[in-house]
A and B are shown apart, each in its own frame.
Chain A
Amino acid sequence: MNEHLSPEEISLWFAGGRTAELERHAAGCAECGARLGRMDSALAEFRESARSWSEAQSETARRIVWNRPVSHMARRWVLVAASLVILASGPAYWRTRQQARAAEMAHADALLQQVDAEISRAVPQTMEPLVSLVTWGSGPSEESQEKELP
């Protein structure tokens, strides 16, 4: 092989297609050796840049904590436990609610009775002490009238 490596042969070299003939020529030809060297160092620099960039960027990525996903089985158990808690707390909640309602009704009844009592009073509450001092009716009583009769 007397001619220099073609551009395609250079690409082929790096694509895993280097043959013994190509290697022989590259070893003996300074120009082709230099071209291969340039391509090789460009690819090495590219690799280095990708790695440095990734390392710089992953400074933040490292802060990400790997969260192990919850398995389907575990998820199922959590759902079952939650359902049981809901079912168990249902009657207790119902009972508490009934008690609260009964207490509310009793309070309302007491209030109504109080209102009834207020309404059925003959005189206002503030005048009640006077009622005990004064007898009803201004004229003489029936007994005294009978005595006065001849």
Chain B
Amino acid sequence: MEPAVTTRWIPDAVEQTREFDDFDAIVRLYWPRVFRFALASLRDRDAAESVAQDCFHKAYRARERFRGDSSLSTWLMQIAVNLVHDCHRNRRLCFWNRTRAAAPEFDLISKSLVQGGASPETALLAKERIAAVWAAVAKLSDRQRTVFLLRFVEELDLLEIAAVTGLREGTVKVHLFRALEAVRKRMGENQ
């Protein structure tokens, strides 16, 4: 693995270590993000719940070793990314697990678009676009998918993604470019 780049945060180690005093509050604050990332990566609610649970257990056990080199959020996402990778690796060994991937609820988003004032045609087109992006994301390599989800779902910038994944910023950009190429082609945006 390539060495992590220096992040733009200057974290206050003492302050961050103090945050561990109320670990339940940390769980409440970061659980949605960790769970969302795991769910989008694995497309399996049970596996995503396990990843989120394991992530916080690992963080709790390792809290003494947290040096504050990165933000708490980045540190938790690093753990989550590693757990998701482990999960993917285990899934590849257990081929029957591949069939468990769930489909996101596209109807949910199209309904919310219609409720938001969009016409049914617009909502249908949006639903098709979303389905195309999800289908493209499912075909990406683990690394590309991770980078894509961190950028476009979690809205991390390239340096943050580099810190979370342990990749160089340039490598993150390459993975992101390839992922976007796959998504764009799937959407039929080839002109």
Contact = CB atoms under 8 A, between A and B. Distances in A.
Mutual binders A and B: yes
B30 to A, nearest CB: 11
A49 B152 contact: no
A83 interface: no
B56 A66 contact: yes
A46 B39 contact: no
Tell me whether chain A's interface is mostly helix, strand or loop, or mixed.
helix
Nearest to B182: A11
Interface in A88-133: none
Interface residues of B, number: 48
B155 interface: yes
Contacts of A50: 36, 39-40, 104, 149, 153
A38 B187 CA distance: 10
B67 interface: no
Given A16-B158, A68-B23, A11 B109 contact: no
Contacts of B56: 66
A52 B177 contact: no
Contacts of A69: 57, 60-61
Given A35-B189, A50-B153, A58-B31, 19 more contacts: A7-B189, A17-B173, A39-B187, A45-B109, A46-B134, A46-B152, A46-B153, A47-B155, A48-B109, A48-B112, A49-B104, A49-B105, A49-B106, A49-B109, A54-B36, A56-B105, A56-B108, A61-B35, A61-B45
